[in-house]
Structure 1
Amino acid sequence: MSALLRLSRLIDAINEFVGRHLAWLVLVMVLISATNAVARKAFAVSSNAFLEIQWYLFAAVFLLAAGYTMLRQEHVRIDVVLGRFQRRTQVVVEAVCIVLFLMPFGLLVIDLVLPLVIKAYETGEMSSNAGGLIRWPVYALVPAGFTLLLLQGVSEFIKRIAFLRGLADDPGRRGKSRSDEEELAAFLRQQADGAKK
């Protein structure tokens, strides 16, 4: 089990790294959007490539951060029924759902999309918009994102089995006690206090 827990920590580290660095793409999207808006309004110049790269970056953030979202226990849950059970029962249900639903769905999506990615790459498929971008990189985000999600599913399954065997803490506990907004507010307060001194 210790080897599996090491594998789980490695997967967690990969998704943590990906998730933390994807946040910069949001800034890039904002800058591209602002540049495109200024160019369009001030100089009557626009480009479909600017619009499409924003869509591509949004797709990258959304798809590649799915594993990170699962790692941080921030994915959408509906615990109307499950919330009434003891924690051990909840963990068993979560582990079963990972195996019965997440894994087959993720593998099916990868299996269905991979041929489209390969075909788009081989044919050099381009956007039908004038000045549009090549399509295969954005198509490739789907299997890449689902691979990261499936890997995180493996990690979460390992953590739940370890918890049930008494070898690990509760895997459903959020990794931090404060929300992202609370962490940002605390950081800004520290900066302001440092500037006053």
Structure 2
Amino acid sequence: MISVIDWINEAVGRAVSLLAGVFAAIIIYDVFMRYVLNAPTLWGFDLTKMIYAFYFIMLGGYTLRHQAHVKVDLLTAVMSPGLRRWVEIAGYVIFFLPFSIVFALYSWQFGLRSLAQGEKTYGAVQMPVYPIKLAMGVAALLLLIQGISELLKLILHRTDHLAPMEPGDVR
């Protein structure tokens, strides 16, 4: 189960990271059109905001999988490894899992409401917003299952999660 969850978030993270190039290309194109040709795009700004939002939210599970998220280690840095492990387990059970479950439930409701309304951006070019809002539900689910994977690694004394995992790797 741990391997499958890690593989899913690794694959999603690598796939979504490709959007950074798309995001940069659109910004460069939009800047070129605006300042060199004096013909700004009507869609560039809205599209880059949406791509960045998708990029940012979809990488939460990948970030957690690689332990690259923000942590406050002020207290745990001075603890023994055994005590630190138990504090991290408690943190996942008391804080992370309840937050992730609520985040997932409300994100799905938020996205489905946007889809039902056919929500679009305001402006000259009205782009659909609901794909990004539905992506929040997917991202919340990916974050939740990665949290379960990290909790299981702590409980089972697994340390292999600290090394990068390639899509297709089975541990």
Structure 2 length-normalised TM: 0.89
Contact 1:48 1:132 in 2 (8 A): no
**1:96 counterpart (66, 73, 90):** 90
Match of 2:163 in 1: 175
Q: 1:113-159 CA distances to partner (integer Å, 9 max, x unpaired)?
A: 32221121122111112213111011112111111111100000111
Contact 2:33 2:41 in 1 (8 A): no
Query: Percent same amino acid at aligned positions?
Result: 25
**Partner SS, residue 71 of structure 2:** coil
- Take 1:152 and 1:48, find their aligned partners in 2: how far apart are those partners? 38
Q: 1:89-110 CA distances to partner (integer Å, 9 max, x unpaired)?
A: 1111111111111111111122
Counterpart check, 1:76 vs 2:66: no
Match of 1:56 in 2: 50
Contact 1:160 1:170 in 2 (8 A): no
Any gaps of 5 or more consecutive residues in structure 1? 1-6, 177-197
Contact 2:107 2:140 in 1 (8 A): no
Give the 4+ runs in structure 1 shifted more than 4 A: none
**1:46 counterpart (40, 45, 59):** 40
Match of 2:106 in 1: 112
What letter corresponds to residue 84 of structure 2 in structure 1?
Q
- Take 2:160 and 2:78, find their aligned partners in 1: how far apart are those partners? 17
Q: Which structure: greater helix fraction? A: 1
Higher RCO structure (Cα 8 Å, ≥6 apart): 2
Aligned-CA RMSD value: 1.5
What letter corresponds to residue 99 of structure 2 in structure 1?
F
Contact 2:5 2:149 in 1 (8 A): yes
Q: 1:11-64 CA distances to partner (integer Å, 9 max, x unpaired)?
A: 000111111122210010000000111111233222342211211111122111
Counterpart check, 1:66 vs 2:55: no
**Partner SS, residue 7 of structure 2:** helix
1:170, distance to aligned residue in structure 2 (A): 6.7
Bigger-Rg structure (1/2) = 1
**Partner SS, residue 126 of structure 2:** coil
- Take 1:154 and 1:48, find their aligned partners in 2: how far apart are those partners? 43
- Take 1:16 and 1:113, find their aligned partners in 2: how far apart are those partners? 22
- Take 2:38 and 2:160, find their aligned partners in 1: how far apart are those partners? 56
- Take 2:24 and 2:144, find their aligned partners in 1: how far apart are those partners? 30
Any gaps of 5 or more consecutive residues in structure 2? 165-171
Equivalent pairs, count: 164
Change (3 A) 1:170 1:25: closer
- Take 1:155 and 1:118, find their aligned partners in 2: how far apart are those partners? 27
Structure 1 length-normalised TM: 0.78
- Take 1:94 and 1:157, find their aligned partners in 2: how far apart are those partners? 8
Contact 1:125 1:135 in 2 (8 A): yes
